[in-house]
Each structure stands twice: as C-alpha cells, then as structure tokens.
C-alpha cells in the first residue's frame, strides 16, 4: 500500500463527494479556507497495490504556544465506501503508521475525528489512541419533518419539549436571515453567549469569513 499526498482538487473532491455522508471539513474548499486563515493544510490518501483509494484525511496543523503543535483531521479520516467495515481497523493502522513517517511538521500527536456510527465497535481505535472530547459534533440526527408538529414534540426528550414551549410562550421566533445587519446581531449574540457560558469564542472576523 502507498501513501500519497494529494495536490489535485478534482481528484480529492471526487473521492469525498462519492461517499454516502460527505464531510465538509474534509472538502478541498474548507481546507483552502483554513489555509487562508493561517493554518498549514495537507491532504493524504492511502492506495492499495491496484491503485484504489482506501482512506484519506485532510489535516491542518494546530500550533500550541511553547510546545509546537499537532496535526488534526476534522471529521476524518474518510474511508472508501467500498471498504468493508471489518477491514477498516487494519487499514487505519497502516494509514497512521505511514503518516507518522511522512514529511509532516514535527507534532506532539495526531488527532482524528472520523465519522463513524455510534454502534461501531471500539476496535476501530488503534493502540496508543485515546478518546477525547470531540471538537466537532460527534453525531448527526436526521429528522423526518413529515409528521405533525405535535408528533415531533411528543418524540422529543421531555426537557427539550419543555424548553421549546417556554421559548414559544416568551415570544421567541425564528426566521431566515437576509439582511447584513442580521450578521451583526448573530455576532453579538455569540459573544454574549460565550461570556455567559465561559467558553472561548472564535473572533468575529473568522465567523464573518466563514459565513461569506
């Protein structure tokens, strides 16, 4: 098996788009956006001897003050949809071993967040890897909106249903933002929320650039 650094956008995006659940943090466009915001980004893929792509990861270097930094694959690596699930642990191990000897900038560790089903076995995680708090949502719920509003509320957790009804009583409404001033309102809301809940927020310039 061969590890190849991918530098062709068409080749990269054609593989990503062919997956049943494409991950936008693994798209070429997102990598370029991150690069424009000061991050080093590289893309690697593992091919078998017949030239078939087995697994790929777009990685960005996250610098850490005084101690170097680490390489991070948000929502990656991505496995080929044709690769049987039972082969993935072996292929992932091979991919990581080759990444470690690739000409990457020296890093403290590698961080991966592959999109895996919640019921998949822990055997996917190689030795020396440990679970950590995800930086991206660890799962996605696909909700069928065909049922009535009352049926949707009934299926929700009791606390979720309660919070929605409290918001409704207090006059909270939703709409699609269409005016530039809506972005200012959103940024102000994010800053207030970050201050109240005590988490580190992205700079407003970064969030605006993400929207654009």
Whether CATH 3.40.109.10 fits 2-124: no
Domain boundaries, the chain: 2-124, 149-211
Residue of higher predicted confidence among 105 and 198: 198
Q: Are 166 and 145 in contact (CB under 8 A)?
A: no
Task: Tell me how far apart the alpha carbons of residues 14 and 177 are, in angstroms, rounded to a whole number.
Answer: 32
According to the per-residue pLDDT averaged within each range, which of 125-134, 165-174, 202-211 is highest? 165-174
Prediction pTM value: 0.78
CB atoms within 10 A of CB 113: 19
The HSE-up count of residue 7 (CA atoms within 13 Å, CB side) is 1
- According to the model, what pLDDT value does residue 194 have? 93
**Predicted confidence band of residue 117 (pLDDT cuts 50, 70, 90):** low
The overall average pLDDT reported for the chain is: 88
Helix or strand (DSSP H, E) at 73: strand 68-73
| β-pair type (68-73, 110-112) | parallel
């Amino acid at each position: 098996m061969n590890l190849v650094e991918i530098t062709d956008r068409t080749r990269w995006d054609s593989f990503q788009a062919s997956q049943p659940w494409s991950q936008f943090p693994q798209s070429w466009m997102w990598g370029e956006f991150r690069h424009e915001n000061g991050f080093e980004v590289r893309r690697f893929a593992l091919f078998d001897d017949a030239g078939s792509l087995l697994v790929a990861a777009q990685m960005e270097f996250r610098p850490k003050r005084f101690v170097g930094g680490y390489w991070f694959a948000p929502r990656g690596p991505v496995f080929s949809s044709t690769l049987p699930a039972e082969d993935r642990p072996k292929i992932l191990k091979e991919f990581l071993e080759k990444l470690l000897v690739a000409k990457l900038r020296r890093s403290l560790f590698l961080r991966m967040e592959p999109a895996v089903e919640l019921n998949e076995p822990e055997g996917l995680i190689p030795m020396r890897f440990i679970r950590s708090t995800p930086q991206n949502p660890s799962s996605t719920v696909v909700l069928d909106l065909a049922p009535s509003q009352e049926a949707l509320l009934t299926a929700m957790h009791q606390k979720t249903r309660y919070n929605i009804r409290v918001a409704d009583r207090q006059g909270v409404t939703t709409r699609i933002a269409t005016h530039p001033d809506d972005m200012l309102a959103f940024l102000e809301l994010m800053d207030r929320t970050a201050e109240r809940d005590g988490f580190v927020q992205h700079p407003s310039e970064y969030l605006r650039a993400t929207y654009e």
